[in-house]
Amino acid sequence: MKFLKTLVAFLLCMSLLLLAGCGNQNASGDSASASGASSASSQTSSVSGTLTVKMLNVGQGDAILIETPEQTVLVDTSDVDERDKLKKELKKAGVKNIDKVILTHPHADHIGGMDVLFDGEYKIGMIYDNGMPSTSKLFTGYLKKAKAQGVKRQGLKAGDVLDLGGGARFEVLSLGADLVKQGQAKGYKHDPNNESVVGRLVFGSFTMLFTGDAEKETEAAILQSHRDGVKSLVLKAPHHGSHTSSSKAYLDAVQPEVCLISCGAGNDYGHPHKETLAAYKKIKANVFETDKNGTITITTDGKTYDVKGEK
């Protein structure tokens, strides 16, 4: 009987110890879970400092300067006859080193200022373009100068993501890999506008869609494959505000609060077209134009953003 009482007491003691042990394990588990949640939260809000986007006033062409907390990036380089304007704008922004140059497509009003970057005043880290061949003298000329100066060049395709530093990234939505492959074939008929690099700049909750001169055909293709990845606070108006772009379906998916248009005053193309301006007005987007507002500057901390024109 005495043995039985001792056994029961022993088993009861062991049960209490096991329960205490389980309680301590649960507390430890909760602590680890909370730590993991904190880590994940810090990763999603890992932007630091301020990001600035400047749509440079370079006439009838595109040149957009992105300055992240760690890198300087130039998207397109304006036209041949606007090189002095590009140089002036870069000097005004205090630019000497350009970590990345992104050329959306080989038309003169987008790659015409590359000679400015190769003139010895600037240090270029890397050049990205649409990966398509071109017989344009400007294009082949820039390739030769890049090679001579030891600057590497890489073609971009949908799915690529460029790390711009400080938590900023550039998500490439077009060209599709299949189109890039087709474009390498001999005899392929190229459509440079619709072969534009299209990408989304992301910095915290701030988003901006870069479009080159992509037209409605490319917009439709992007919506088929990336409909959920185009929504952006700011839209760089495709093709200088031409009616060949900015389809209703595209604008409905992007839902921009602000549209930026790069164009020259009194240009021969009539950009921006009245149909496009009407479409932007219909979605209640604020519109800024370089011909009217000069260089347009966006500043963001990844949470809020501010847009200002020079005039």
Segment 156-179 shows an average pLDDT of 95
Segment 42-70 shows an average pLDDT of 88
Contact 248, 275 (CB under 8 A): no
Cα–Cα distance between 235 and 39 in angstroms, integer?
A: 32
pLDDT in tens, 281-304: 999 999 999 999 999 999 999 999
Cα–Cα distance between 261 and 33 in angstroms, integer?
A: 48
Cα–Cα distance between 291 and 295 in angstroms, integer?
A: 9
Cα–Cα distance between 247 and 226 in angstroms, integer?
A: 16
Which of 185-194, 200-209, 274-283 shows the lowest mean pLDDT across its residues?
A: 185-194
Segment 170-178 shows an average pLDDT of 92
Q: Is the pLDDT of residue 98 over 50?
A: yes
Cα–Cα distance between 129 and 154 in angstroms, integer?
A: 6
Q: What pLDDT does residue 95 have?
A: 97
Q: What are residue 298's phi and psi, to 5 degrees? A: -110, 130
pLDDT in tens, 122-148: 999 999 999 999 999 999 999 999 999
Confidence of residue 182 (pLDDT cuts 50, 70, 90): confident
Q: What pLDDT does residue 186 have?
A: 85
Segment 29-58 shows an average pLDDT of 59
More confident call, 46 vs 271: 271
More confident call, 38 vs 62: 62
All structural domains of the chain: 51-309 (3.60.15.10)
Q: Is the pLDDT of residue 19 over 70?
A: no
- Find, among 177, 206, 203, 196, the residue nearest to 238 by Cα: 196
Confidence of residue 184 (pLDDT cuts 50, 70, 90): confident
Q: What pLDDT does residue 117 have?
A: 96
Q: Is the pLDDT of residue 24 over 50?
A: no
Segment 97-122 shows an average pLDDT of 96
Q: Is the pLDDT of residue 1 over 70?
A: no
Q: Is the pLDDT of residue 115 over 50?
A: yes
The number of beta carbons lying within 10 Å of the beta carbon of residue 270 is: 13
Q: What pLDDT does residue 22 have?
A: 37
Handedness of CA 134, 136, 139, 144 (dihedral sign): positive
Q: Is the pLDDT of residue 4 over 80?
A: no
The overall average pLDDT reported for the chain is 88
Per-residue tokens: 242? 């031409």
